Structure 1
Amino acid sequence: MSTTQPTRLDPTMTAPWTEPEPLADVPGGEPNLLHRSAWSDPANPLKVMLKPWYDDDLPGGPYTERVDVFLDDDERNIIGFRVWDLPMDPDDYYVPISADNLPSGTHTLSFTMTNFVGTPALSFPFTVTIDKTPPVLAASSQLIFPAEVLPPNKLTARYLELNNDEVKANLPMYTSPRPWDQITWYWGPSPGTQDRGDIIELDDQNYSDPVVVTIKGDLIQNRGDGWRYVWYEARDRAGNVSLRSEPVELDIDATPIPRTLPPSKVREASGGASSGVLSPFDAVNGVTVVIPPDAVIYDGEGVFVQWADPDAVGAFRTDIPTPAGSRDYKIPNNKIAQHLGKTIPVKYEVFEPGIAEPHNSNNYNLRVEELTGLPIIQCDKVSGGRLSLGSMADGEYASFTLERWTFMAIDQYLTVEVRGVNSGNQEVRVPVLTESPVPEVAQHIPAGRISKTDLQRFKIGGGLEVRVKVSFDARNTWKDFPSLTPTLVA
């Protein structure tokens, strides 16, 4: 240590600099900040560099010169010195400074050079910042994840799907965050994993705001399912690193599940996986559409079952499972007869919250068989297979009735017509009912009447045919009921 007293000299020598050089100044950062690698290696101390002060070689002789480096305009606060024999090697114009002589903070480095005749000269100062203090994490340092992804729950593909394909975690505020601090987080199969996820760098405007770690679904899925551990550390601009945070343990089940929606089935129908045949007599109490258990439907999604094309007569749509919580959906019996003899699609739709267009299942094609055992129309004037005109007074009518049939409903329509030939064997048709609504659902219903006068148009002794057609689908199609075929007699 030099015993030279303060000289209070005016600075005349060029300011020193350091090797390694300070980091470039950035907005909000400390001036001339030295990275810790510049001074922390005992085998490679920081060099305070000096500009040579002689232009020419000095004459030979046993001469020495000395440089004292001091801090903060205090010539007594010498942190390093060096004595040279002249002439000096050009590569020797520096003074090594050990780390323990570099206090934290922003300081000025100056030096006094005492030449070979004992005359001192003072340099201009050079400002540097030394930062030896690593960031200090919060006492409870674990990342804060949403409760729904923490054990005993899993972080699932469905969670990612509903959350913009990412999961966010809040980082507990650590001690004295500074602009350009970096948060490095790790994601891997062990608590001390070195599998880096990403680096978050704080800026000079919002460095004190809460830090949110956003973990993308791609990274989660690429690193596999099972138990995974997440931890982080904070590093300041000088390269000081905090202790590791406590790891968070997560159970990952994020492999994407394909959205498979296989065809539904109709429980009362026979057939294969994507088609079936329904006997109407198995549907007198309605039918049940069953969504298969392997259909991918998530909690909170809406499910609608569509019976037949939406614009078809007899279509039905429901989102009410019976019983509640099941995958069974009831189709009422008044939506069966409209499809007799037809093949209809049966499907279901799955609606994700916030998404307008549904996911559509594959179609199940259902063939509904024709209805058999339909009643024969009856006439009050027919006896023993004969309709006798002599039994009818002038102006009297023969009345027709129909017995109740399976699926009878008042939204169905009747057409009744009497056919035969006249005495000249020309065809005669007498309409009795034309597309007339079924009046009621009863054991017997009126089905129109025909006058004696109209009956007299037919050939005596000729056969009559009383034809009946019923429409189950709002008069789009007609089904033939068995005909009544009496013989007209005088």
Structure 2
Amino acid sequence: MPISQNRADPTDPTLEQPRVPAILKDENGEESPEGLLPRSAVSDDLVVIVPNWRTALVDPFPYIISISWVKEGSSFTEVYREEFTDPGEKTLKVPRDKLDHGIYSLSYQLSYGGNAELSFSKRVTVDRVPPDDGQEPKPLVMLDVPGDITDDYLTRFGEVRLQVPLYVDLKARDRAIYYLTDNPNPLDTEPDIREQEFSQQDIDQRRLIITVYAADIRGRGHGQRYFYYRLRDWAGNRGPRSTLLPVFVDLTPAPGNLDPARVPLSVRGLIDREHAREGAVDQKAVTVEIDAYDNPDASDKVLIRWNSHALAPLDVDPTQFPLSQTVPWSTLTADGLGPMDARVDYRISRGGTPTPPAPETQVPVNLTVAGPDHADAPAMLNLTLANLEIYGAVSKQLNTLQTIDHGQPADGYLRLYDNPQPGEKIFLYWGAISTPVAEYEVKDGDSAGQNIEFSIPWTAIEQDMENPALPVWYTTDNQVNVQLARATPVNVAIIIIRNLPEPTFPDGGLKGLLDCCARPRLWEQVRVHIEGNDAFDKDDIVELHWQGCYGPNGTSPIPGVTESFETTLSLEQARNGFDISVTDYERLVAPMVDRGSALCRYFLRKSNGGQGESKSEFVIINRTMPSGQLCGPNNDICEESFVSDVPKH
């Protein structure tokens, strides 16, 4: 049913609650009852979804949606609004600067055509305070261990249990992130052991227990150690480290119980080039990691073999497990680029006598690339890859885009590299756009040196239309490893003159209205005036676009009631302006019967290739007299009493 006027000042909510996608959800997908936001969500504007609504209004009224964000119990206060012309689900926001700590009531108001409706409110909680009010937590309490943590204790029980003291504002889903270190002043980069989440049952029983397994303790070696933890709530607020709990770990007796070597892999689960160069200037980022073994000693050396190729001996520091040894690129590629499974093992040498090898670890390796390899591998930039060539769709100039190329895709050309394999891809990147704007997949039958083509969409080009050296580059990708070609600088000089003054309607009077009494009559001509402009020059072309509309303000275009009028400018017209007469009355003017309008704008095409466009303007056209009669070329019914400010000519 239509919304009545008594809804103009709503007091009772009728619309659905807004939705906030960022609100935390439990393992069953249920939202936090408090509408709790993760800490990460308050670092930017908060996305708010306004559900679809329905109205019975036919006319295209604008819909204004106002977002209210207030502390619970406060009255509706707008913090953001947007205007829409159609119903439907909408995405709005709460500005980031409003997301202070607290519990809020989120709602929205829908206003249209003098009417307004209010939504039900949604509770949203912004929690910026770490657990225990951000204070330094008390130290852990070790349970069941009478003194030092001994090798015998770990062998018999396999774990050590510790208790977190109760603290202020303890809630279910709080977590303790716990650590064991040999550093009495641990750095913030200290790796954690793991995390323990606390349930409501843990809280009710007042027993916040964490478990540290024997392997974690043995892995950190023999000697003076320190347990500590940090608290983190469900929202992600993380507090400072606790007071340290000092413990002595006594793991004394010959090297033994050697675990297989560990080789951290890439996100693809193998050794690839990205992993080989990650984070290391010397491009030796593949590591073999050795976990703690029985009875380590500072005189020990670890002898690692990668596919039977020996690495440099690794000194043992019993306090720094896991030990880590880099694998040089020359060793990684000594048996080819793969794909292969590399075999990795190690022995412990003490006093010159090595132990039997640890169990072998097999590591998948694929260092192949699409295109030629290069001397600087595994660096991504390969200077031997061919250069891109870019041409404008109209200008056809090498690595240059001009104004005459406006609105058109650009063409890219590249000589295909040697030994192309089907399924390999080439991705083309344009300027500051982080994702590829074009790609090519190698097909059966493609051969080295053939010319492949790319089409760079206008949507990418228009993001940076004036740049004398816009970088354009490409990558080759064999679905495992990526190579990067050097950038081609492209001179983009697409200059568009915007916001030229709108056309005017000199016969429309002060009210901007052309009616039955207009002089000249509607069926004789409608004059559109374009002012002279410094941007105009002789031989430029101005194209006026006329669009008839049902609405009085240039809205609701009438299909077919449209025309373009081109004028090649003389010097006089360029400086002093000119008129365009619309004389096709039956097609272009007559359809605007009852307070319709004509919407006009013009486009500039300069003789030197430049382009421009004007603002839009409309004039009201009304052929209906107050009596209800329609005027026309065969029914000039205007009387002087109806003439107000229409100029006489």
Scaled by the length of structure 1, the TM-score of the pair is 0.42
Whose relative contact order is higher, 1 or 2, with alpha carbons under 8 Å and at least 6 apart? 1
Scaled by the length of structure 2, the TM-score of the pair is 0.33
Larger Rg: 1
